[in-house]
Each structure stands twice: as structure tokens, then as C-alpha cells.
């Protein structure tokens, strides 16, 4: 058995006693995981003994591996099955995230815009009240007991009457159906005013905006002919942050990392801390829309992003020695690693959420598997359109061949590399990202940039988990807040 190369000799494997596991070289030893989300760090000697069935049965390691489902003849199947069901609860629910595009108009021209927005004069790209009414009716046909409606664009505030109408109608439908409803607005905030804000706060609409760092960096990425985008974002962020303190509705900010961000990790984190944000969401570029067209100017390799992420993450850990400050990508992974509560983040689950966990509704009533699928329609490709609110039924949309194809393509058991990867219990694949990058919804993981980024982030997280002080910080990140968060991409 040549453990140093990571190759296990099948002849030495004790199939009668060894439970199913996946493994990955980690430091001087191995990381092992199973389908129940359990993990353990083993030395080479311990790993060899586990594989060969010679672990000391009286030792604490053996007892722990029995408890967590790694020893075949000592598995508590009822307990482990209950854990698996809890971690995969989303498989028994219908689509609960509904992205509604109220308009394609926008007063920004962001370098990485995925939506291919249009200018503010193009009112023909606004959703009508008739289409909005049909969209709400279709949304509430989902069997999910929880409905999240997320307003997207363009800039959704450019079509305020439709936002207002959908909020009011969704509240009525929630009372009629008994469903819980969450409302989220994704906005650059530049068209907000006090009257609109009062309506949003009254109706517990959470707000999500983009903040790419200090003014010079933010304004370089997010072009705004009408003024200073950073100044407007910061002004409204502070105001909403104060008004929603301690409430279920709140404001969050997201960061999109461009090439211009790569050397600015400290400046970016400091900007978020200065504004009093609860944390930052360090997101890599997507190759969709404008970003794909400008990739040579703003893009980078997976390794470039990982270098940025590791530096930013380590700096965030330093910040946490003085105040609680969360990195949201890590928090999603850590919830899967340290708890049995899957946050159901649609980009990191198997199968993915396209048509199963989310549906997107275009301004004209077109129904798409997801927001990324809707974005592809702006690029002239309708592969991911699954219907219209003006015709057909909800059932016809969710049973559409495109939904079936994306579900198969995003089931990690169907991916050769993913099915064997130690990180399978915590990861997910986006077939549309694979389609954009590699021309096929069934991605080729060895050369897939998103796969490389996820593996790199998880490598870093598990390395940090070896330190008990870091684990204390991570568990504090996961501790339920006194007030629930309304902004959740379920």
C-alpha cells in the first residue's frame, strides 16, 4: 500500500468492516468524509489501519469513527438516515426562491453585469401589472410552505409600481394560502427615496446591494453616469442598517471580485468593517453577460482568485479577534461541515436549484430554470426557458426537459470526479456555469474553474479547522442570531 501517493491498494482493504468513505490528502495525513457530512483528520498510520481493519477497537478514534458512520459493522442506520434526511430536506420541497425581473432598465453599467441591462429609456422592457399579477399567481402554486420572492433587474426600482404591486399581492396570497413569505430587493439603491424605503420597511422587505470596496474600486467596477455610485450605496446602506437593527428585514452587501480587486483584500474588508456590516460575501466572477465579453480586462484565473480569497479570509480571522465579522461563502460551507443544518444555498447543493429550488420570471412573463438561465436568454440562447406565466401551467414548467437535464447534470453522483471527491457532502455544481465555461451542462471538473475554486476554499477551511481557536470563531458564525434573517436565498 503506497499511502504517500494517495493510492490505496484494494487488496489491503477490509470490505467487511470498512464503511464507505471518501478521502483526500491533507497536510501530512488524510481527510476522510462520508455522505452524512462527517469528517475526520487521520495520520497516515491511522488511515492505513482504518483501511486494513486493524484500528484499536478500544481506542477513542475507533469509537468516534463508529459514532460517525465510518465503521461498517457498527453503524446506527436509523440515526444516520435521520441525519441524511435532515441534511437533504430540500429534496422534498418545491421551488422556494422565485426571482422576479421587474425591468431590464438600469442606470448603471457595471463591468461584470450578467443581465445585459438596457438604458433607462427602454420602457418596453418593463414588466406590466398584468404580467406581475400572473407571476404572483404562478409563484404561489409551488408546494413549498415557504416562498421567497427576490426582485432583480436591471434595476428593479426603475419599475417601482410593479415592485409595490407584487409586495402587496404576495402578502395577500400568503394570508390566503398560509405560506410564509420572504421578500428581498436586489438594488444599487441609487433610485431609492424615503417614501420607497418606508414602504419596504413597513412590509419587511430585505435589501441586498453591491459594495465592491473603497470608492475608487467600487466606482471603477460599477459605472454610474448619474453620480457617485459608492457614495449613494454607502449613504443608503447606513440609513437602512440603522433602521433595521434588530429586525427580521435587513440590508446585506455583496462583493464581486474583479482583476482590480485582487491586490486590495485588506482595503475591501476594512471598508465593510467601517460600514458596520455583519460580514462580506467574497464572490468570484461569473463568465455570463458583460463579464464574459470583458474577461480579458477584468477576469482572472481560479488560482488568482484563491490567492485573493486566502489572504482576505485570513485577514477576516484577524478581525474576528476584536469583533464578529463573517465571510459568507465560508459560512455556507461551514454550516454543512459543522452542523446538520444545510443552508440550502442553491449554488452549493446537489442537485442544483434550477427549476427545483428556484424559478426566474422575466419582465415579459417568460419562465426560466433560474436567474442564470434567464440571463442566457439575453445572450440569445433560450435553452433554459421552461414556459410563460401567460400560458401553460406550473407543473409543465417544473417537469420541463430542461429542468430534468439540469437536475441530472448537477447530481454529483453523476459526475465522475465529484462522486469520488472528499468534498462531495458540502459542494454543488452549477450546470449553466459549466455551459458558459465549457460548452456543456455536464461539466468537466478537472478543468472547471468553479470546481478548482471550491476545492481551494474547502482546503483552506479544513486547514483552519485544525486550530480549536478558529473552530470557536466558526461556531460563533453559525450560532443562531436572536433575530432571524429575512435575506435567504433558499
pLDDT digits (tens, 9 = 90+) for 299-332: 999 999 999 999 999 999 999 999 999 999 999 9
**CA Rg value for the chain:** 23
451: enclosing H helix or E strand: helix 449-465
Q: How confident is the model at residue 241 (pLDDT cuts 50, 70, 90)?
A: very high
Select the more confidently predicted residue: 354 or 455: 455
Quick one: average pLDDT of 248-255? Answer: 89
In whole angstroms, how far apart are CA 329 and each of 252, 292, 335?
A: 14, 23, 10
Q: Any idea where the domains of the chain sit in the sequence?
A: 3-87, 92-490
Omega before 386 cis (within 30°)? no
Of 446 and 5, which is predicted with more confidence? 446
- Judged by average pLDDT, the poorest of 136-140, 232-236, 338-342 is 338-342
Mean pLDDT of 362-374: 95
Q: Which of 94, 115, 111, 91 is nearest to 371 (CA)?
A: 115
Q: What is the mean pLDDT of residues 183-197?
A: 97
Say whether pLDDT at 486 is over 60: no
Rounded average pLDDT over 193-197: 97
Percent of the chain past pLDDT 90, that is, above it, reads 78
- The Cα–Cα gap between 60 and 76 comes to 18
* Across 165-180, average pLDDT: 96
Look at residue 9 in the predicted model and tell me its pLDDT.
Answer: 62
Q: Is the pLDDT of residue 12 over 90?
A: no
Distance between CA atoms of 25 and 241, rounded to whole angstroms?
Answer: 43
Q: Mean pLDDT for the chain?
A: 91
| pLDDT above 90 (res 168) | yes
pLDDT over threshold 60, residue 488: no
Average of pLDDT values for 113-131? 92
Contact residues for 13 (Cβ-Cβ < 8 A; gap 6+): 51, 52
What was the pLDDT predicted at 91? Answer: 82
pLDDT at 490 over 70: no
- C-beta of residue 451 within 8 angstroms of C-beta of residue 442: no
Q: Write out the H or E segment, with its range, that includes residue 110.
A: strand 108-110
Give percent of the chain above pLDDT 70: 95
228 band by pLDDT with thresholds 50, 70 and 90: very high
Q: Where are the alpha helices (DSSP H) in 140-264?
A: 160-177, 194-202, 215-221, 229-243
* 466: three-class secondary structure by DSSP: coil
Q: What whole-number distance in Å separates Cα of residue 381 and Cα of residue 414?
A: 25
pLDDT confidence of 20, banded at 50, 70, 90?
Answer: confident
pLDDT digits (tens, 9 = 90+) for 91-117: 888 899 999 999 999 999 999 988 788
Percent helix, strand and coil across the chain, each rounded to 5? 50, 15, 35
Question: Helix count (H) and strand count (E) of the chain?
Answer: 20, 16
Query: Residue 289 has what pLDDT?
Result: 83
Residue 10: what pLDDT?
A: 59
Say yes or no to pLDDT of 220 above 90. Answer: yes
What burial class does residue 472 get, using C-beta atoms within 10 Å of its C-beta: 0-12 exposed, 13-18 middle, 19+ buried? Answer: exposed
Residue 5: pLDDT band with limits 50, 70, 90: very low
The full DSSP string for 420-443 is H-TTGGG----HHHHHHHHSSSS-
Higher-confidence residue of 191 and 485: namely 191
User: Measured between alpha carbons, how far is 171 from 125 in angstroms, rounded to an integer?
Assistant: 25
Ramachandran angles phi, psi of 173, nearest 5°? -65, -35
CATH code at 92-490: 3.20.20.70
* pLDDT interval class at 120 (50, 70, 90): very high
Amino acid at each position: 500500500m503506497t499511502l504517500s501517493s494517495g493510492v490505496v491498494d484494494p487488496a489491503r482493504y477490509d470490505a467487511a468492516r470498512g464503511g464507505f468513505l471518501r478521502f483526500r490528502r491533507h497536510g501530512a495525513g488524510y481527510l476522510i468524509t462520508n455522505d452524512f457530512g462527517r469528517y475526520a483528520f487521520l495520520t497516515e498510520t491511522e488511515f492505513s489501519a482504518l483501511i486494513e481493519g486493524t484500528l484499536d477497537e478500544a481506542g477513542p478514534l475507533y469509537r468516534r469513527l463508529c459514532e460517525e458512520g465510518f465503521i461498517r459493522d457498527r453503524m446506527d442506520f436509523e440515526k444516520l438516515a435521520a441525519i441524511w434526511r435532515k441534511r437533504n430536506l430540500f429534496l422534498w420541497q418545491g421551488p422556494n426562491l422565485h426571482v422576479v425581473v421587474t425591468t431590464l432598465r438600469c442606470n448603471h453599467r457595471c463591468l461584470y453585469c450578467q443581465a445585459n441591462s438596457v438604458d433607462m429609456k427602454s420602457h418596453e422592457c418593463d414588466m406590466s401589472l398584468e404580467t406581475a399579477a400572473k407571476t404572483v399567481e404562478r409563484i404561489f402554486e409551488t408546494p413549498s410552505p415557504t416562498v421567497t420572492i427576490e426582485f432583480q433587474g436591471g434595476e428593479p426600482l426603475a419599475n417601482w409600481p410593479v415592485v409595490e404591486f407584487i409586495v402587496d399581492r404576495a402578502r395577500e396570497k400568503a394570508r390566503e394560502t398560509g405560506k410564509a413569505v420572504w421578500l428581498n430587493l436586489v438594488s444599487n439603491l441609487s433610485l431609492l427615496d424615503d417614501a420607497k424605503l418606508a414602504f419596504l420597511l413597513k412590509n419587511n422587505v430585505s435589501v441586498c446591494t453591491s459594495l465592491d470596496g473603497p470608492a475608487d474600486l467600487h466606482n471603477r467596477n460599477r459605472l454610474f453616469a448619474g453620480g457617485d455610485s459608492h457614495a449613494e450605496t454607502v449613504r443608503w446602506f447606513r440609513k437602512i442598517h440603522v433602521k433595521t437593527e434588530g429586525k427580521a428585514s435587513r440590508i446585506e452587501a455583496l462583493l464581486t471580485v474583479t482583476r482590480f480587486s485582487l491586490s486590495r483584500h485588506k482595503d475591501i474588508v476594512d471598508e465593510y468593517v467601517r460600514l458596520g456590516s455583519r460580514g462580506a460575501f467574497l464572490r468570484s466572477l461569473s463568465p455570463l453577460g458583460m463579464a464574459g465579453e470583458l474577461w480579458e480586462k477584468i477576469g482572472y484565473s481560479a488560482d488568482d482568485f484563491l490567492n485573493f480569497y486566502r489572504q482576505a479570509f485570513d485577514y477576516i480571522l484577524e478581525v474576528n479577534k476584536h469583533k464578529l465579522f463573517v465571510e459568507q461563502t465560508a459560512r455556507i460551507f461551514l454550516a454543512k461541515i459543522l452542523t446538520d443544518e444545510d443552508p440550502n444555498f442553491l449554488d452549493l447543493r446537489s442537485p442544483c436549484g434550477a427549476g427545483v429550488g428556484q424559478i426566474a420570471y422575466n419582465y415579459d412573463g417568460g419562465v426560466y430554470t433560474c436567474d442564470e438561465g434567464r440571463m442566457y436568454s439575453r445572450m440569445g440562447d433560450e435553452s433554459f426557458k421552461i414556459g410563460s406565466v401567460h400560458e401553460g401551467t406550473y407543473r409543465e414548467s417544473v417537469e420541463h426537459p430542461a429542468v430534468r437535464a439540469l437536475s441530472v447534470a448537477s447530481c454529483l453522483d453523476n459526475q465522475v470526479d465529484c462522486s469520488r471527491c472528499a468534498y462531495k457532502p458540502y459542494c454543488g455544481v452549477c450546470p449553466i456555469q459549466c455551459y458558459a465555461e465549457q460548452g456543456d451542462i455536464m461539466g468537466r471538473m478537472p478543468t472547471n474553474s468553479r470546481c478548482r475554486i471550491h476545492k481551494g476554499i474547502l482546503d483552506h477551511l479544513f486547514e483552519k479547522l485544525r486550530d480549536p481557536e478558529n473552530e470557536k470563531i466558526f461556531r460563533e458564525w453559525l450560532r443562531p442570531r436572536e433575530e432571524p434573517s429575512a435575506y435567504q436565498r433558499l
